[in-house]
Amino acid sequence: MKITAPRGTFDILPGDALRWHWLEAAVRRVFGYYGYQEIRTPVFEHTELFQRGIGETTDIVEKEMYTFTDKGERSLTLRPEGTAPVVRSYVEHKLYSKGGITKLFYMGPMFRQERPQAGRFRQFHQFGVELFGTESPLADAEVITVAVELYKELGLTGLEVLLNSIGCPACRGEYQKALLSRLTPLKEELCASCQQRLHKNPMRLLDCKNPRCRELTEDVPPVTDYLCSSCRGHLEQTLSSLDGVGIGYRLEPRLVRGFDYYTRTVFEVINTGLGAQNAVCGGGRYDHLVEECGGPPTPGVGFASGMERLLLTLEQQGKFAGFSSAPQVFLIALDEKLAADGFALATGFRREGIATGSCLEVKSLKAQLRAADKLQAEFVVILGEDEWKDGQVSVRRMADGKQWRVDREEVRQFIKDLLGREL
Ligand code: HAM
């Protein structure tokens, strides 16, 4: 039986790798402008980290984690997200000890056992930032700005920032009480998960995907009605800072996000053209997570962005039309005796930084030209016996068939000049 990739996973084939490289380079570049430094954490962690960090009553912890027991009887989990691991590392290595703010970014695979569909996978990739050490609303505005500016740099259009505040534990407590008294009479009509969550964490009900639960919670009062004055002030300052840099947003009072670590600001960036799985980015503030993971009280704020969904959006918007990994030159040797000379010439091109392909086998001119054409090489350099004896080679421009005879000692410079002129 043929073995295939597990459901919800996929291979990144050579034809697609270039897009990933391009995206990864842009992410590193833009995060660099804002002073974020890379951190790499393991792909698996102690299960307890996610139970404690993300929250026992969340969909991710209840239903979606890849958890296994290793041969030492330890419960481990493939990371479903990057925030809890970064916080764990921040605490473990006392990155707070230098004082001030710490800005970290990460990029890599995450794992969630969700039902696969367009834009939703079981192994997917995220990049994200986490900013520690300040309660300033400017930090909230900055992480939203980093995301939006990065998307702008990528050339993405049609995105919308949705934003909400879910308050601090004090004002959220009041809201949870209000939700509880409103939804308890409807308990029997809620889905099984929501019935269980109602008493433990009623705000989770606003996040339920079940259509009946959505209906029942449709006209509950918005969390923003319950914000205390300091949370309200925080929200207002975050919004005015975004206004100041021209970043648009829509206030979305139902947005609560599927993690228990959030406090105050939560946000998502959606692409209206993506269908059901339309969030390309999600994030928010988490002022108690560092403490919950054993560190000193340290506020934090960050976001993560799904790379597959971004690449899908970019493809839909035609951003990859001009992408090519075509060689600049393709080397053709027409005689077995010239194969080694051809190899040496190709190596010389590559040493000069010219991307060069070849067949590595002597075939007919027609077959080798076909190979060059398939790879979309710009120029072909042909070593024929008679020309080689005269110290010459032929250079052909594939686009129009124009051909030159060039001294073999000068061919590298000749090609470089042609490529330079093409630029
Ligand atoms: P999240 O909203 O769960 O947040 O994920 C962020 C992004 O990852 C989503 O907006 C989506 O683009 C992508 N994503 C999530 N699940 C999948 C999936 N199954 N398949 C494909 N893409 C997916 C977090 O993970 C938080 N840690 C974000 C954060 C960072 N909050 C504060 N700091």
| Domains in the chain, CATH or no CATH each | 14-168+228-316 (3.30.930.10), 329-422 (3.40.50.800)
State CA 414 to chain mean position distance: 41
Q: Is the pLDDT of residue 422 over 70?
A: no
- Identify the pLDDT of residue 239: 98
Q: Is the pLDDT of residue 314 over 90?
A: yes
279 in contact with ligand 1, CB cutoff 6 A: yes
Residue 423 banded pLDDT, cuts 50, 70, 90 = very low
In sequence order, the β-bridge partners of residue 397 are 379
Residue whose Cα lies nearest atom 31 of ligand 1: it is 283
Mean pLDDT, rounded, of the chain: 95
> 42 phi and psi, to 5 degrees?
-65, 160
Residue closest to 28 by CA, chosen among 90, 99, 91, 106: 106
Q: Is the pLDDT of residue 346 over 50?
A: yes
- Cβ neighbours for 138, distance < 8 A, ≥ 6 positions apart: 237, 241
- Cβ neighbours for 89, distance < 8 A, ≥ 6 positions apart: 39, 41, 95
Residue whose Cα lies nearest atom 23 of ligand 1: it is 306
- Identify the pLDDT of residue 322: 81
Q: What is the pLDDT of residues 61-104, one digit of tens each?
A: 999 999 999 999 999 999 999 999 999 999 999 999 989 999 99
How many angstroms separate the alpha carbon of residue 107 from the centre of ligand 1?
12
Q: Which two tokens stand for residue 411?
A: 């061919």
- Identify the pLDDT of residue 282: 98
Q: What is the pLDDT of residues 263-296, one digit of tens each?
A: 999 999 999 877 778 999 999 999 999 999 999 9
Q: Is the pLDDT of residue 421 over 70?
A: no
- Identify the pLDDT of residue 15: 86
Residue 120 alpha carbon, nearest atom of ligand 1: 20
- Identify the pLDDT of residue 164: 97
Residue whose Cα lies nearest atom 13 of ligand 1: it is 306
Residue 82 alpha carbon, nearest atom of ligand 1: 27
- Cβ neighbours for 27, distance < 8 A, ≥ 6 positions apart: 105, 107, 127, 150
- Identify the pLDDT of residue 321: 84
Left if phi > 0, otherwise alpha if psi is -120 to 50, otherwise beta: which for 247?
beta
Q: Is the pLDDT of residue 36 over 60?
A: yes
Q: Assess contact for 91 and 290: CB atoms under 8 A.
A: yes
Q: What is the pLDDT of residues 106-143, one digit of tens each?
A: 999 999 999 999 999 999 999 999 999 999 999 999 99
- Identify the pLDDT of residue 386: 92
Top mutation candidate among 36, 58, 124, 271 for ligand 1, by most atoms within 8 Å of CB: 124
Q: What is the pLDDT of residues 181-225, one digit of tens each?
A: 999 999 999 999 899 989 988 998 998 888 999 999 998 999 999
Rounded to whole angstroms, what are the CA distances from 396 to 34, 326, 361, 418? 46, 16, 20, 11
Residue percentage of the chain with pLDDT more than 70: 99
Q: Which two tokens stand for residue 361?
A: 């086998």
Residue whose Cα lies nearest atom 18 of ligand 1: it is 120
Top mutation candidate among 61, 81, 278, 307 for ligand 1, by most atoms within 8 Å of CB: 81
Q: What is the pLDDT of residues 377-394, one digit of tens each?
A: 999 999 999 999 999 999
- Identify the pLDDT of residue 275: 77
300 in contact with ligand 1, CB cutoff 6 A: no
Top mutation candidate among 126, 160, 209, 311 for ligand 1, by most atoms within 8 Å of CB: 126
Q: Is the pLDDT of residue 157 over 70?
A: yes
Mean pLDDT along residues 323-350: 94
> 247 phi and psi, to 5 degrees?
-95, 120
Whether the pTM exceeds 0.75: the reply is yes
45 in contact with ligand 1, CB cutoff 6 A: no
**Residue 55 burial class via C-beta count within 10 angstroms: exposed 0-12, middle 13-18, buried 19 and up:** buried
How many angstroms separate the alpha carbon of residue 10 from the centre of ligand 1?
18
132 in contact with ligand 1, CB cutoff 6 A: no
Residue 269 alpha carbon, nearest atom of ligand 1: 10
Residue 84 alpha carbon, nearest atom of ligand 1: 27
